[in-house]
A and B are shown apart, each in its own frame.
Chain A
């Protein structure tokens, strides 16, 4: 997994790519959590993430809940078809902010 972060005002956009599994989740958290802790709204662009397992889904839930606690917003953008299928299997499409 690699990542890129861009900033615009109070919103940071995190571009992740590759396959997000148990081995990659700590890396994803290390990128996303400090942004939320700093009070940023975070757009998580997943267009280049082709595979995500339950560990990756847990990062999405944890990030979403952390943003709610901090009064910011996490928006998940451009989800690939394969990852959307997993999000829907977890019945999270109405819980997470998907765009």
Chain B
């Protein structure tokens, strides 16, 4: 885990993970550790951990769908000011087709399609950007504090 900026008003931590489903527990541990360090409200922490884990899961499931044995790594950066939390994800997988990113109708009960719904429910904004080299995708989630 690296601390990029650390002063009283702007904190940022970043860590990279192998793109595997087995990394998701490490993504959650990292997130919990950072939220404790940033003193994020306890009621909010687990919701944010869920949103982060769902976004990381989407990278594994979709951006690397055809590459289950990849050695690529994805990075998660959590930045915090006193007013807003920004969580960025970076990966080198298949470029995200924004038009295809949608959750299933919530009243059409069937397995799957809930991850993006959870992210939308928990976060205030979701933006897909092209990643700066070497990254391909850069997802940015924000939440007002």
Contacts and interface: CB of A to CB of B under 8 A. Distances in A.
A and B held together in a complex:
yes
B106 interface: yes
A57 B114 contact: yes
Contact of A21 (B57, B110, B111): B57
Interface residues on A, range: 20 to 34
B126 to A, nearest CB: 15
Interface stretch (A6-14, A48-56, A69-77): A48-56
Given A53-B57, A58-B112, A21 B25 contact: yes
B36 to A, nearest CB: 16
A53 B106 contact: no
Given A53-B54, A55-B57, A23 B115 contact: no
Interface in A31-87: 51, 53-55, 57-59, 61-62, 65, 82, 85-86
**Chain B contact surface mostly:** helix
A59 B54 CA distance: 16
A23 B53 CA distance: 12
Nearest to A61: B111
Interface in B99-123: 106-107, 109-112, 114-115, 117-118, 121
Nearest to A23: B21
B28 A19 contact: yes
Contact of B110 (A19, A53, A59, A61): A61
A98 interface: no
